[in-house]
Amino acid sequence: MLATHDSDTAQGPIGIFDSGFGGLTILREIRNVMPQYDYVYLGDNARTPYGTRSFELVYEFTRQAVRWLFARGCRLIVLACNTASAKALRSIQQIDLPALDPSRRVLGVIRPTAECIGHYTTSRHIGVLATPGTVRSRTYELEIAKLFPDVVVTSEACPMWVSLVENQEYASEGADYFVRKNIERLMERDSAIDSVILGCTHYPFLLPKIRQYMPAGVKVLPQGDFVAHSLENYLSRHPEMQQRVSTGGTCRFFSTDTPESFNEGAAWFLGDRVSAELAVLE
């Protein structure tokens, strides 16, 4: 069990975890929908990107992050990272949670996104743009097949996109080359696609370019809104968890990289001044 002096009913913030800045796109939507709660954002910026790493490493890094957020008092954590949701979530839920604290919860972003997609496509052909790790895991294919077996899913790995975002190059001319290349490849593989999931939380920062190169009529679906409403719904169905989330309306930011570089990035990404603190994961 997790070493904690809290009683079972003690309250804590909601933890939001990503490999870097991408989870800020999820945090922003969650806070829009539920501004009343307290949040702790943790970005593993020192070890980003996760999308090209092995299953074992993503699992180990994510497990460290979950333990760290639990130790900060979080009862509920959202892995605001598709790669971690695809590669680590199931093992954390099945292996780690029972040993750490079975009353706490760790949720991901893939299932809530899969639950919505069937309502957007009319051609029943959808595309997923994601990291190589998420694509290789085939988690989107598996989750969508369970919910909407008639939907054909084509996934395209975009290995450069996270680095473009993390390095604040997402609006540069260099980004055009990679965004166009991956979208063209996806649409060549299935021209009947009418809806495309942005299956990586970093990708909404590339949205203007993605919209520019996506064929007219194809819907581009960032997942922040899906995840935020799914979390709201989850809390309304689980009052025992809702009562354990504190409601001060605060948000603290932590990064495994220097606070200065996180603050600079967050100013770009959120358009907000934040004052991050260093997190040491082990």
Is 81 in the active site?
yes
Identity of the amino acid at 93: Q
Please identify, using beta-carbon distances, which residue of 82 and 246 lies nearer to ligand DGL.
Answer: 82
CB of 52 to ligand DGL, least distance (A): 7
Q: Is residue 230 near ligand DGL by the rule CB under 6 A?
A: no
CB distance 158 to 129 below 8 Å: yes
Is 158 in the active site?
no
Q: Is residue 200 near ligand DGL by the rule CB under 6 A?
A: yes
Residues 6 or more apart whose CB falls under 8 angstroms from that of 95 comprise: none
Site for ligand DGL in 55-114 (CB under 6 A): 81-83
Q: Is residue 164 near ligand DGL by the rule CB under 6 A?
A: no
Site for ligand DGL in 5-64 (CB under 6 A): 18-20, 22, 48-51
Closest by Cα among 79, 74, 76 to 91: 79
Q: Is residue 137 near ligand DGL by the rule CB under 6 A?
A: no
Please identify, using beta-carbon distances, which residue of 19 and 256 lies nearer to ligand DGL.
Answer: 19
Annotated catalytic residue, options 81, 116, 158, 251: 81
Q: Is residue 202 near ligand DGL by the rule CB under 6 A?
A: yes
Q: Is residue 201 near ligand DGL by the rule CB under 6 A?
A: yes
Please identify, using beta-carbon distances, which residue of 12 and 20 lies nearer to ligand DGL.
Answer: 20
Q: Which residues are annotated as catalytic? A: 81, 200
Residues contributing to the site for ligand DGL (CB under 6 A): 18-20, 22, 48-51, 81-83, 131, 134, 162, 200-202
